[in-house]
């Protein structure tokens, strides 16, 4: 039977200082990023939703969900990174310092006359490409987006909706990254990728910095509830850029008192988990078609900069089968009475699925105890996407696709304990 696997990263438990976390999220960067995002037309702080009844059922002090399905009507957090990266590319081309630049300045007739029309290019499983296409369109430029074979038509149509050209390549996400690198070089396009390679590091770092807006907003929202910081953060990972941004944000803000961080990946695309398993500090690529319902996490090669942050600071790496994400989607969609309804796609819901199983399954008690999850815990989750593939969403939520196997089912007994099917 497929299972949830986990690895303790002992390095993170003893790492008092991470130069990589400081390099990615420099002092003052989150404030600069928020200032830029706040100028974007339509910007609103995405909601932080408390699942109080579910937390009580699972024996936790609180579960807090940063709901990025409501980010700028784009159904995903990815626009935060893509827009900040494009902002920095344009700023540099105009020869301006960060203090000189506003959103209005980048879209002014003078800026457009100097810049011309730039073609921004990237590879994506859906959400990153949509964010790049949106940002390029808003700033008066073009976008060309490569997607792997098998990408849902709904995700392709969403990208095209912002005027981008979409090219479907024969291969997985990693193949799309390689193809866009080659074609951009040949055609003079500007690549905006969330993974780094040799001599291509600035833009992936800017993308990670762009994601800090989520966490700085969440900190303000938690403070309004009288919570200084979460005790635990569960972060989903593809190439690792989102998770590294969150890890670095909290490590730089709280130092050794930062929340305990668990990184979650699909079993079939667990490149960070595999890198942690090998344990020599290097990032490793995994091969195969990377098939998973968690399309946004179907990446076989880590972002090496993100990996360095996670190797220093992520406490646990988890890999899990698709039914865990599907369970999380249904838990969000059919909440306990009094908890808010949340629309979450497969990649957005997997952390809730993992958290619920950790709190319920007997074989995961050692992990629960190592993390110290209990009645005093305040857990932060990121709903990284909403319903980005309506057909698959209905199959999971309406029809019960990717059902929890019999041996993994759990039932709460009258004494509050959990009865498991295996």
Cα-Cα-Cα-Cα dihedral sign, residues 271, 274, 279, 282 = negative
- How far, in Å, CA of 366 to CA of 38, rounded? 43
Q: Which of 327, 335, 343 is nearest to 385 (CA)?
A: 343
Please give the Cα distance from 207 to 362 (Å, whole number): 39
Residue 149 to residue 170: CA distance in whole angstroms: 5
Cβ atoms within 10 Å of 229's Cβ, excluding its own: 17
CB 419 within 8 A of CB 413: yes
Could you give the CA distance from residue 144 to residue 204 in angstroms, rounded to a whole number? 18
Region at 377 (left for phi over 0; alpha for psi -120 to 50; beta for the rest):
beta
Structure tokens given for 84: 């900040």
Cα–Cα dist 309/311, whole Å: 6
Phi/psi class of residue 225: alpha, beta or left (left: φ > 0; alpha: ψ in -120 to 50)? alpha
User: What are the residue numbers of the active site?
Assistant: 78, 125
What is the C-alpha separation between 84 and 245, in angstroms, rounded?
13
Q: How far is CA 27 from the centre of its chain?
A: 22
User: Which positions ≥6 away from 417 have C-beta within 8 Å?
Assistant: none
The sign of the CA dihedral 396, 398, 400, 401 is negative
């Amino acid at each position: 039977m497929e299972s949830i696997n986990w690895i303790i990263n002992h390095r993170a438990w003893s790492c008092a200082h991470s130069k990589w976390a400081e390099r990615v999220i420099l002092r003052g960067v989150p404030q600069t990023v928020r200032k830029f995002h706040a100028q974007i037309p339509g910007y609103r702080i995405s909601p932080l939703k408390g699942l109080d009844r579910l937390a009580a059922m699972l024996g936790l002090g609180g579960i807090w969900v940063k709901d990025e399905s409501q980010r700028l009507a784009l159904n995903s957090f990815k626009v935060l990174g893509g827009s900040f990266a494009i902002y920095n590319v344009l700023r540099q081309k105009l020869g301006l310092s960060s203090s000189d630049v506003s959103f209005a300045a980048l879209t002014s007739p003078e800026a457009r006359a100097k810049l011309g029309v730039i073609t921004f290019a990237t590879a994506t499983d859906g959400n990153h490409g949509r964010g790049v296409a949106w940002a390029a369109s808003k700033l008066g430029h073009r976008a060309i987006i490569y997607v792997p074979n098998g990408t849902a038509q709904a995700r392709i149509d969403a990208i095209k909706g912002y005027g981008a050209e979409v090219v479907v390549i024969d291969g997985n996400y990693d193949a799309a990254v390689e193809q866009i690198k080659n074609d951009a070089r040949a055609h003079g396009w500007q690549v905006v990728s969330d993974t780094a390679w040799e001599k291509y590091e600035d833009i992936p770092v800017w993308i990670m910095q762009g994601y800090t807006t989520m966490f700085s907003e969440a900190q303000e929202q938690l403070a309004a509830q009288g919570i200084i910081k979460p005790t635990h953060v569960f972060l989903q990972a593809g190439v690792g850029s989102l998770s590294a941004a969150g890890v670095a944000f909290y490590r730089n803000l709280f130092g050794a008192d930062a929340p305990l961080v668990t990184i979650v990946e699909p079993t079939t695309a667990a490149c960070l988990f595999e890198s942690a398993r090998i344990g020599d500090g290097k990032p490793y690529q995994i091969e195969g078609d990377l098939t998973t319902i968690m399309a946004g996490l179907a990446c076989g090669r880590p972002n090496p900069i993100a990996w360095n942050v996670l190797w220093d600071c992520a406490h646990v790496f988890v890999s899990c089968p698709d039914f865990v994400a599907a369970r999380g989607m249904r838990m969000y969609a059919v909440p306990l009475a009094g908890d808010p309804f949340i629309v979450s796609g497969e990649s957005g819901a997997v952390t809730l699925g993992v958290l619920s199983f950790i709190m319920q399954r007997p074989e995961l008690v050692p992990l629960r105890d190592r993390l110290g999850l209990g009645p005093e815990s305040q857990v932060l989750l990121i709903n990284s996407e909403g319903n980005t593939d309506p057909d698959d969403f209905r199959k999971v939520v309406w029809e019960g696709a990717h059902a929890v196997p019999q041996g993994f089912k759990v039932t709460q007994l009258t004494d509050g304990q959990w009865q498991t099917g295996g």
